[in-house]
Structure 1
Amino acid sequence: MSRFVVTGATGGAPNRLEINDFVKNDKFFSLYIQALQAVSSNNQVNIQSFFQLGGIHGLPYIPWDDATGDQAWDPSTQWGGYCTHGSVLFPTWHRPYVMLFEQIVQKNAEAIAATYRVDQAAWKQAASDLRQPYWDWAANAIPPDEVIALKQVSITGPNGNKITVDNPLYNYRFHPIDPSFPAPYNGWATTLRQPTSTRPNATDNVARLRLVLRAAQNDITSSTYSMLTRVHDWTAFSNHTVGDGGSSSNSLEAIHDAFDPIFFLHHCNVDRMLSLWSALNPGVWVSQGDSQDGSFTMPPEDPVDENTPLTPFWNAPNHFLGFRWYSRHR
């Protein structure tokens, strides 16, 4: 059976942009919004749909692209998502995850660029250069309105005219809500940020979100600086908590938040932190540890190291991606 192979985006290695700069680039933003709409509207059983990609992280605890462990998943003893929360694998596991998302978004963007009738060559080049933006919370913890406040955004459409479209960065609408979701998530038709309550009629509270993020800014900035300048051991770095951190393995937010479109902006920045920290600490890489609470493919407290397969990501039709491949990536 053929597997979906994670290659990352094609077309060289142009820089990823910080989200505040990204939204000012009309071609990138227009293509990204339309590509994200396409991925989000895919049938939720499609492994390239936003739902399936978000579901790799935690709920609904199902195989992605038939990636299973040597033993059947035991919900009574092990964490049910693929994410390696609390483990030394946490930073490197998210690298192919972000690459997978970036790869699928770019593929959709390239198809969309081919429909442009005005300045098509420039739009095709923009699609080739398109990379997942990152949210640099250490510099600015409050994302731009295009991410957290605007339910609709203005973009340039295929005819070269400005059009107003629903904003797929604002939330993700489930179609349908998965029956495995626990309360209160089983009552919410969309992802919510700072929900006003746990009832089914809850709404976003953007003003509250801004207050919370603004109040956390100094701590986030200082914690990030400390991580980059004072932490020189892989075990300590791999679970240094900034934002949601690597140690939140038992949080309900940790099992649901990957469906929020901001998740990949956040983890793209986590991947950036990995690159920065690695440059500051040459020769230091994944140390030995254990799988903590386990994952969908790993039993709890299993030994892990740089040779542990990064499930469910395939780098060939029948081989999972491993750390050594990623030590040479970017």
Structure 2
Amino acid sequence: MTQRVRRDINDLVADYANGNTKPMDDLITAWAGIQALDPGDDNSFFKIAGYHGMPFRGAGWGNLQWWGGYCHHGNVLFPTWHRAYLFRLEEALRTIVPTVTLPFWNEANNVTATDGIPDIFLQRSYKLNGEEIPNPLYSYTLQKDLIDNLAVDGAINPYNYSKKATYTTVRYPQAGLVGTAKDQATSEAQNKLYSDPVQNAKLLNENVKTWLLQETYVGSDGSKTDAGTRKKYANCLNAPNYTVFSNTTSAQAWNQEKSSQDPTIVPLESPHNDMHLAVGGFEVPNFDASHIHGAQGDMGENETAAFDPIFFFHHCWVDNTFWQWQVKHNKEQNTMHALSLIENYPGTNSVDSQGPTPGVAGGTWLTLDSPLYPFKSPFDSTAWATSTEMTNIIKLGYSYENVPVGSPLLGTMPVKPAQVVAHLSGVNKADVRGSFMVGVFGTIAGKEQLLGMESILSRWHIDGCGACQVHSNVKVHLPLHGITHDDVDKADSNFYARVITRGGLDSQAKNGDELKPLLSIIKKQV
């Protein structure tokens, strides 16, 4: 079997600029091909994108206590399920162009930090074989309706997330909330205001770069430290075991147990969530900058995130980072125990975080041999894929360009443990409409500023029942990079926490109450 190599998308862009158009032409041809297939075709983009969230199936089709998408978030199957997902999408692309592979968008290198999103995702058209065609990486137009059956009052429900056929995916600063007449009118007004694709690309790039390079002040001297998403990608490689590396639920439990001692663990899922929100319409709060309210991109919610083509290039980087962690910790070999789980730990049950997925019973303990529905095993088409099979990408037949064994790409980025950690609680996902952020603010050197934040990638409907509330409670241990013990001891530091939604800092719960996270500041032993 010939090993397929997944390359950096920017390298394909560079090849194209230097006259070697074939790699990019092949990629565009393959993507245009699967997007043109009948939505009922097993290899169609509509069907594969729909595995992640909408259209819902199983108990989650009409029951708020279940998740109607197949994707796993907030549990130990997050990295392996998405690895299987990318593999399935790549296999579909190869039915159109047999030699094509899925490139990754390197979200942690200096090119992205300087330029933002690769240009190929921002161009509305592409010249293929001398003809201008719609760029299949820019957006996707639904071929079938996505009906929100959880909106029990139909079109008049204020939380209806339905999207009709002919709807085209959008990114920050545009809006794609169209489930009710009111939401549709609001989105149309937003998109009329931001109708220039060149200006929109500039705004999107600036937003993404701000997320990647968010800075905080260091004590009273005014110097700055890198505390953004790029640093999170580097920090996650230090997670000591797969369970806490894999997801936010397990990592937060670990951090709570070791709150005053060991360095705060950053799970892979955390920077992943950041980039979803950055592309999907959320801004890093800044007291010195104007804000664009009303952005509602598809990447910002799990229901439709996978219908934006950039989703798969983002997740290809997440999978690349997963592989880097495996290489660093010698977990890349496909033996039965290459990856291991802490049994019965938070994040190892189907009810944790998002709730059970179709085909999985509530209260099921998740293992490395749990079926990764709806994907078939790449080694036995009669069986379901498992995490054990997804461990070794070399055995799966692919590798990542520029990731030699023993030399992770992110390994040289300096990572210094934070002296101070903020613990936030008291917020429930069921109280918020869709995704949101929790942030910690304080007055340092006489200036009020954001000190750190965590993204909560969520969905539009979460039940408020007692059992669901328990598993939807948000607990965050947030390292405050650059904040010292002396800063904590100063009376004028004035630390406080806020929930940040698309409505900004002054956010309200769905019932109109103010969202007030509980905050405690912990000084680490250094």
The TM-score normalised by the length of structure 1 is 0.79
Question: Which of 24, 36, 42 is the aligned partner of 1:29?
Answer: 24
1:263-313 deviations in Å (ceiling 9; x for gaps):
110111111111110111124614141122111222344200111111111
Residue in structure 2 matching 1:237, options 242, 245, 254: 245
> What is aligned with 1:325?
389
CA deviation map 1:210-236 (0-9, x unaligned)? 1210101221211111111x2112122
Q: Which residue of 2 aligns with 1:120?
A: none
Q: 1:152 to 1:72 in 2, by over 3 A?
A: closer
Q: What one-letter code is carried by the residue in structure 2 that aligns with 1:171?
A: S
Partner residue, 1:15: 5
Q: Quote the residue 2:125 is aligned against.
A: 152
| Aligned partner letter, 2:393 | H
As a proportion of its length, which structure holds more helix? Answer: 1
Aligned-pair distance for 1:47? 2.0
CA gap of 1:177–1:208, structure 2 versus 1, over 3 A, is farther
CA distance in 2, matches of 1:52, 1:216: 31
Q: Which amino acid aligns with 2:388?
A: R
Whichever of the two has the greater Rg, that structure is 2
SS of aligned partner of 1:131:
coil
Give runs of aligned pairs for residues 1-330 of structure 1, distance below 5 A. 12-25=2-15, 26-62=21-57, 75-110=63-98, 128=99, 130-139=100-109, 140=112, 142-147=116-121, 149-155=122-128, 157=129, 162-180=130-148, 183=160, 186=163, 189-197=167-175, 198=177, 199=184, 200-201=187-188, 202-203=190-191, 205-218=200-213, 219-228=228-237, 230-239=238-247, 240=267, 241-244=270-273, 253-283=301-331, 285-287=339-341, 288=343, 289-291=348-350, 292=352, 293-315=355-377, 316-330=380-394
Tell me the C-alpha RMSD between the 2 structures.
Answer: 2.6
Higher relative contact order (CA 8 A, sep 6+): 1
Q: Cα gap change, 1:326/1:286 in structure 2, threshold over 3 Å: closer, same or farther?
A: same
CA distance in 2, matches of 1:74, 1:166: 35
Change (3 A) 1:192 1:213: same
How many pairs are equivalent? 286
Which structure carries more strand by proportion?
Answer: 2
Question: Which amino acid counterpart does residue 174 of structure 2 have in structure 1?
Answer: T
Q: Judging changes above 3 Å, is the alpha-carbon distance between structure 1 residues 183 and 324 closer, same or farther for their aligned structure 2 residues?
A: same
Deviation at 1:165, TM superposition (A): 1.6
Show structure 1 runs of 5+ residues with no match: 1-10, 63-67, 111-127
Q: TM-score, normalised by structure 2?
A: 0.51
Shift of 1:328: 3.2
CA contact (8 A) 2:147 2:161 kept: no
